[in-house]
Amino acid sequence: MQLEYFISLLLGGLAKGSIYALIALGYTMVYGIIQLINFAHGEIYMIGAFTALIFSTVITYTMPDTAFLINVGISFTGAIIFAAAYGFTMERIAYRPLRNAPRLSALISAIGMSILLQNYVLLAQTPDFLPFPSLVPNFSFLEPIEYIVSSNQIVIIVTTIIVMILLTLLIKFTRVGKAMRATAQDKTMAQLIGINVDKIIAITFVIGSSTAALGGVLISSNIGQINYYIGFIAGIKAFVAAVLGGIGSIPGAVLGSLILGLTESFGSGYISSDYEDAFAFIFLVIILIFKPEGILGRKDNQKV
């Protein structure tokens, strides 16, 4: 019994951490390239989840005969495409004009964007919690141990691993990835050797937003309900995870997310569930005070 409880907490924590990882990847990529804490990133995650809800509901109510897998496919693709489009538009409107402005201006603009997107969904949709359909198939081979691990959790963990591997490959070995690394190091120099910096930044936003949307749909399908506010706290926690792992580093983001997910899971399982949300914040404060560059991050000196 004790062992089963431990394993279920472990897997729950891993699943939770994987979701944070999917959001944190976007944070870390954007921060790595333009040194901006994109506050509105959590909102993109929420919009992804909402889009999936809308697509799947429309399909279920208007065409009840559609196969489950087709429904799932359309919902996921729709969510990812629309979230990516929102990320792209957001960068174009709120961040591109501030490329050369002081850092705090861009940060305040990001906070404004976050409030804007939250209230946009609140006004256009609903302030209430909406039930979210299960968009992950149930694996029959998991039935005997279902009380320990659900199909949802397995899908979440596997998806995160795949996304992380793909992103690492993209950044290490493709032309776009190379251009991204160059832009992150030195924007002016990158421009001089013929890299379209604006385009690379836009691509970064699109990739980050798609992974966030993927995470949004998966977690909403696991929890079973959403509202307009889910993005904010998730976004902050993912940011904490990104900082914990060393902001700007992709394996760091995943590592940090898993540590945070496990801490939350074990903390609320063995200590107190009242303070589940506080663990992330306490973590953040401690890391930033003692090791601001994170676990896998590199220390950078402030230049004049």
Partner 1 sequence: MNSKKLNKFLTDKFGDKIGNLFNEIILSFITSLWFMILMFPIMIIKVNTIDQTIIWRWHNLIYIGAGSFVLSYLWRKALKLKEMKSRTEENSKKSFSLSESLSNLSESKFHYPAMGVTLLLFILIPVFSSLYQTTVLSSALIYVMLGLGLNIVVGLGGLLNLGYVAFYIVGAYSYAMLNTHFGLSFWVALPIGALLSTVFGILLALPILRLRGDYLAIVTLAFAEIIRLILQNEGDIFGGPSGINNIEPPSFFGFEFGLDGKTVLMYYIILFMTIFTIFVIFRLENSRIGRAWQALREDEIATKSMGINVTMTKLTSFALGATWAGFAGVLFSAKTAFINPDSFTIWESVIILCFVVLGGMGSIFGVAIAALILYILPESLRAFAQYRMLVYGISLVLMMIFRQGGIIDVKRKHYKLPDNIKAD
Would you tell me which residues interact with partner 1 (CB under 8 A)? Answer: 35-37, 47, 50-51, 53-55, 57-58, 61-62, 78, 82, 85-86, 89, 93-94, 97-98, 101, 103-109, 111-121, 123-126, 128, 130-133, 232, 236, 239-240, 243, 274-275, 277-278, 280-282, 284-285, 288-289, 292, 302, 304
Name the minimum Å distance from CB 7 to partner 1: 28
Q: Which residues pair with 130 in a beta bridge?
A: 226
**Identity of the residue, 141 or 290, whose beta carbon is nearer to partner 1 in the bound complex:** 290
- The nearer residue to partner 1, 189 or 285, going by C-beta atoms, is 285
User: Between 116 and 262, whose beta carbon lies closer to partner 1?
Assistant: 116
CB of 40 or CB of 167, closer to partner 1: 40
Beta-carbon contacts of 17 under 8 Å, excluding residues fewer than 6 positions away, are 241, 257, 258, 259, 260, 261, 262
Tell which residue, 84, 104, 99, 298, has the closest CA to residue 191.
99
Query: Which residue, chain included where needed, has tokens 């174009």?
Result: 92
Minimum distance between the CB of residue 276 and partner 1, rounded to whole angstroms? 9
Q: How many CB atoms lie within 10 A of CB 122?
A: 13
In angstroms, what is the minimal distance from the CB of 183 to partner 1? Answer: 19
Least distance to partner 1, CB of residue 282, Å: 7
Q: Rounded to whole angstroms, how far apart are CA atoms 75 and 264?
A: 29
- The residue (of 163 and 260) whose beta carbon lies closer to partner 1 is 260
Least separation in angstroms between residue 262's CB and partner 1 is 19
Give the type of residue at 179: A
126 vs 174, beta carbon nearer partner 1? 126
Closest CA to 95 of 41, 157, 166: 41
Minimum Å gap between C-beta 39 and partner 1 is 9
Residue 18 C-beta-side C-alpha neighbours within 13 Å:
25
* String of DSSP letters for 152-179: HHHHHHHHHHHHHHHHHHHHHHSHHHHH
Q: Is 34 exposed, middle or buried (0-12, 13-18, 19+ CB in 10 A)?
A: buried
